[in-house]
Structure 1
Amino acid sequence: MEARCGPVERQRLQRSDVIHSYVQLVGVLEDGRIVCSSAGQTPARIGPPDLVTSNGYDQWLNLRLPFAAEERFIGIGNGKFIAVVHKALPVDTTIPRHVSLAIISLAGQRVLSSRRHFERRWMPRREELKPGGHRTVLIGDRLIAQVRSDTMDLAAVAALDEADYQQELASATWLLAPIGMGGGFLLAWLLWRVAATQMSLPAAIRSGLRRREFFPLFQPIVRLADQRVVGAEALIRWRRSDGQLVAPDRFIGAAEGAGLIGLVTAEMFRMVEKTLAVLARHQDTPYLSLNLSPGDFHSDDTEQRLHTLLARSGASASQVVLEITERGFADIGHARVVVNRLRGQGFRVSIDDFGTGYSSLSDLVRLDVDTIKIDKAFVDSIDAVAATNHIAAHIVEMAHGMSLGMVAEGIERGSQVQVLRSWGVEYGQGYFFAQPMSGDDFLALVHAQTPRAAACERAPSVLGELRDEA
């Protein structure tokens, strides 16, 4: 043992320890033991590693040492040497209060160290990040920043509450803390700054509106009995000037919070005008569903914008369905007044994502609406044995009892269509039928199903005229 842990060997280990300030101990490995370390001649049996990375490094995730039994450590070894750090050290840094931080082993999808609540779904998979790569994604209501070491199967993940994005973004900065030992053995714990931006999201939205960066897509709505297209839901999307697509659940919420949602809605109405103009000349009178935020629903400007849309497109109010989420009906008394006024003008009103909000269903069903949309969360499991299957059946039964129309969202399997039809659900939309598409593709789809209709024969030329005018 003395030969393996003599003064020269200990000096070398101690030097590696000293020059890398984040390392608690550097040692020599032999048969599952640390036979010599920078702490001196203190053999410690550590057993086999918990994980082996793709590039051959061993990882111990919950290491105990005999001279510090109450503490837990992380060990990284290469078969000959091991570097040991305290389990809390990689995330021992000052971070904003709404941020969760973790160091991940990609080899086994395991959390090595974390600060605050951390969820497995925030972890990147190895194939999603190249060595040295990073990305920022939105998962649920969290903005997730992920960065991978360029030498190890390790990643750092920071999760920022999306609600605090604007307040925390500028200050969400962490340290880059390299640790390791000599002889080519280097470990890097990487901590990432979340989604650096040049401007706040509301300012970017204003700029995007000026630059006409927003565009519409159309999700066809079909009659389940014969899969005939009867209309489409208009969806707004945003592609920044640098090509980056911004998720709707990010910019819609930000626009609402900044008082910009009315401008976004007005832009959406402007963009769908051409498509609605062609549909207005179609003999089957297909319709468009337009989403209104709670702010839109209660704004006096919305009705004026709707009437302007009808005047410019030549469509009738019956060709427009207004989709409103349950949040828009928080004040049931006022909501009933607005719904009755809109329906009195010929518009149809639908409750979007029915059953997923916080409002009382008994209150919502008192509204004099035309249809409800069954949320994808319920449609996902209707052809399986699940609790949400019973909820979906109850929603359908309740809608039948009130003579409400129904549109099922997120249909992806033929078996779902069969169940929905057996329940008497008349309409649906989802990837089983078609993905969201451009206005031209949607109009072509509508035109293809009625080739002999005179109005349809004129549709392509009308669209051409509209393009020329634009």
Structure 2
Amino acid sequence: MLSSNNAGLWFRLLIFMLLSALLALFIGQTFIAQSEQKRLESYAHDVLAQGVAVAQESRDTVQRILLLGNIPCSDADLRELRLLSFYALNLRDVGRIQNDRLICSAGWGRLNPPIALLPPDLTTSTGTQLWTAMERLVDPRITADIASSGGVATITASAAFRRYSQPPQGYSATLINKNLDHPYQTFGSLTLPHKEDLSRLKNGWLTLGTRHFFTCSNSFDICVLAQFEDAGVIYRPWYVIAGIILMGAALGGSFTLCYSLYREKRRSLPCQLERALKNDQLRAHYQPLVSLATRSLIGVEALARWRNGAGEEISPEVFVRIAEENGMIDELTRAITRCAIRDMRPYLTQPSSFTLSINLAVSDIISPDYHRFLQRECERNGVMRERVILELTERSTASPQVLEIALQSLQQQGHKIALDDFGTGYSNLDYLSRFSFNLVKIDKIFVGAIGTDSVNAAFTDVLFSLVQKLDASIVVEGVETQEQAAYVAQHCPNAIVQGWYFGRPASIDQFVEPERYRCPPIES
């Protein structure tokens, strides 16, 4: 059975795959529409160019004949007509017209009797007369387009538009005048729109079914209206549509999956911790250190605390381990050091012996960069270095020589060094014999065994006897009951105690000032 998270992921995958498939169809429609429009415009310009070429050659031929000044249909005139007709690319014949009759041509010579012409289909603004598909010209089997100007007639060759007679599949076009009332040539099955409808023939990227393109020549009264049917992605072959849908669905699914993984990664504790350190979101809580001899608050230990973006309190045991495993422990130590010295500055700068204890990783102890960082923070806040105690866990692993040099350097600078978690590490007395510590902190597992029959309880008396012989102050951690407090006071009356019985870790806003601190009863 799917979990709610997995079900949600599959639901998002399905929705985004469907949306991506639709988006792919829209995008595909855009590219297809652009491609179809470009091909349609290219086809239309090609047809128009041929229409202009025919008109241009016809006009040039007429002008050359008029410049000859020959007597119409004379032998010299016919020779010139035949020469011009021979070299023409788009003209089949050239002739003379008088009184609306074709009297001679290069191909047929003098016509006797002359051939009467029907009224022209169109007379342009320049006086050129046009006949479209005139039938029974000279021979009943001949149908031709004729243009006449200044008494000179040109007959368009049937091959002039041969390569357009069978347009590509789905394409059609017509050559027409600008008023849209006289088509010159039509290729394919195109229905001419009314002039007022031409402006509504818009082509958008969503055009489906029929696509149009209309353009005109700048030199002649010739326009082209081209049409492409079955336009749009829905008219593409099924395998093209299926490919677009599958590609869109695959991309959408991949993006959704990658984004979900990225989101999960950002929600993971290592990423959250990295952002918290970057944004200075970690804070320190402060646990009282109480002198049994004076029953007064003489210092605090700074303990890292983190509330993530979801408002959840993350245990230090969890996020410190994450910091160690992901190479962020140095940054974490600096963040807590900075925060603790800043928060405790009002008490560390007073004329008293109040101290601040900070837990350090061994990498920080032996790091010259951290030494310089700690020095800058103390100087910036006006805190004397002997008021800042640095705690080193006995479980630390490092070269004894390197560690000894680093500890001596910190002590020479004025800092006191405390051995944390004494009795639980794998070096034990070797640590005490090798290094010089100002304080030794007895681990809470021994205090927790007071009043029980465990081995640790039996060892607690021996441990207290041992540490009192050291030239170092004794700090007893984990004192949580009055019975434990009384036991420590009896066996080690000059010890410094720390634990919930004497005060839980508190934020700087809830911190009780040393002068207002009241020590709980110890002796029963």
TM-score, normalised relative to structure 1: 0.51
> How big is each residue's C-alpha offset from its partner over 1:35-92, in whole Å with a ceiling of 9 and x where there is no partner?
xxxxxxxxxxxxxxxxxxxxxxxxxxxxxxxxxxxxxxxxxxxxxxxxxxxxxxxxxx
Matches within 5 A, 1:95-106: none
Shift of 1:267: 1.0
Match of 1:374 among 442, 447, 450: 442
Match of 2:388 among 320, 341, 356: 320
> How big is each residue's C-alpha offset from its partner over 1:224-249, in whole Å with a ceiling of 9 and x where there is no partner?
23421000000111111110111111
* 2:487 is equivalent to residue 419 of structure 1: yes
Distance 1:232 1:346 in 2: 18
Match of 1:214 among 271, 277, 282: 282
Distance 2:343 2:515 in 1: 12
> How big is each residue's C-alpha offset from its partner over 1:135-179, in whole Å with a ceiling of 9 and x where there is no partner?
xxxxxxxxxxxxxxxxxxxxxxxxxxxxxxxxxxxxxxxxxxxxx
Is the 8 Å Cα contact of residues 383 and 419 (structure 1) preserved in structure 2? no
> How big is each residue's C-alpha offset from its partner over 1:17-45, in whole Å with a ceiling of 9 and x where there is no partner?
xxx9xxxxxxxxxxxxxxxxxxxxxxxxx
Shift of 1:391: 2.1
* 2:499 is equivalent to residue 439 of structure 1: no
* Residue 132 (structure 2) aligns with: none
* 2:322 is equivalent to residue 254 of structure 1: yes
Match of 1:429 among 493, 498, 501: 498
Secondary structure of the 1:403 match is coil
Match of 2:469 among 401, 414, 418: 401
* 2:375 is equivalent to residue 278 of structure 1: no
Shift of 1:429: 0.7
Match of 1:349 among 405, 417, 423: 417
Q: Structure 2 counterpart of 1:427, which letter?
A: I
* Residue 304 (structure 2) aligns with: 236
Over 3 Å counting, the alpha-carbon distance change for 1:230 and 1:349 in structure 2 is same
* Residue 298 (structure 1) aligns with: 366
Shift of 1:309: 1.6
Is the 8 Å Cα contact of residues 269 and 305 (structure 1) preserved in structure 2? no
Structure whose CA Rg is larger: 2
Shift of 1:265: 1.2
Q: Structure 1 counterpart of 2:508, which letter?
A: G
Secondary structure of the 2:502 match is coil
| Structure of higher RCO (CA pairs closer than 8 Å, 6+ residues apart) | 2
Shift of 1:352: 0.8
Distance 1:221 1:257 in 2: 30
Unaligned runs of 5+ in 2: 2-263, 519-524
> How big is each residue's C-alpha offset from its partner over 1:110-158, in whole Å with a ceiling of 9 and x where there is no partner?
xxxxxxxxxxxxxxxxxxxxxxxxxxxxxxxxxxxxxxxxxxxxxxxxx
Matches within 5 A, 1:156-235: 198-235=266-303
Is the 8 Å Cα contact of residues 419 and 441 (structure 2) preserved in structure 1? yes
> How many residues in Structure 1 have an aligned counterpart in Structure 2?
256
> How big is each residue's C-alpha offset from its partner over 1:435-465, in whole Å with a ceiling of 9 and x where there is no partner?
10112332x4313259xxxxxxxxxxxxxxx
Shift of 1:294: 1.9
Is the 8 Å Cα contact of residues 393 and 420 (structure 2) preserved in structure 1? yes
Shift of 1:199: 4.2
Q: Structure 1 counterpart of 2:421, which letter?
A: D
Q: Structure 2 counterpart of 1:422, which letter?
A: Q
Q: Structure 1 counterpart of 2:474, which letter?
A: M
* Residue 129 (structure 1) aligns with: none
Is the 8 Å Cα contact of residues 446 and 457 (structure 2) preserved in structure 1? yes
Distance 1:428 1:335 in 2: 27
Over 3 Å counting, the alpha-carbon distance change for 1:285 and 1:401 in structure 2 is closer
Q: Structure 2 counterpart of 1:414, which letter?
A: Q
Shift of 1:276: 2.7
TM-score, normalised relative to structure 2: 0.46
* Residue 181 (structure 2) aligns with: none
Taking only the aligned residue pairs, the percentage that are identical comes to 29
Shift of 1:298: 2.0
Q: Structure 2 counterpart of 1:354, which letter?
A: F
* Residue 377 (structure 2) aligns with: 309
Is the 8 Å Cα contact of residues 283 and 306 (structure 2) preserved in structure 1? yes
> How big is each residue's C-alpha offset from its partner over 1:316-364, in whole Å with a ceiling of 9 and x where there is no partner?
1111110111133543222221111111111000111111122242344
Distance 1:360 1:234 in 2: 25
Distance 1:331 1:445 in 2: 40
* 2:358 is equivalent to residue 268 of structure 1: no
Secondary structure of the 1:202 match is helix
Shift of 1:200: 4.2
Over 3 Å counting, the alpha-carbon distance change for 1:266 and 1:382 in structure 2 is same
Distance 1:368 1:329 in 2: 17
* Residue 407 (structure 2) aligns with: 339
Distance 2:431 2:375 in 1: 29
Distance 1:221 1:246 in 2: 24
Which moved further from structure 2: 421-430 or 360-369? 360-369
Secondary structure of the 1:324 match is strand
> How big is each residue's C-alpha offset from its partner over 1:199-226, in whole Å with a ceiling of 9 and x where there is no partner?
4433222111123321110000001234
Q: Counting strand residues as a fraction of each chain, which structure ranks higher?
A: 1
Matches within 5 A, 1:16-27: none
Is the 8 Å Cα contact of residues 282 and 307 (structure 2) preserved in structure 1? yes
Is the 8 Å Cα contact of residues 362 and 392 (structure 2) preserved in structure 1? yes
* Residue 448 (structure 1) aligns with: 516
Is the 8 Å Cα contact of residues 252 and 261 (structure 1) preserved in structure 2? yes
Q: Structure 2 counterpart of 1:428, which letter?
A: V
Q: Structure 2 counterpart of 1:435, which letter?
A: R
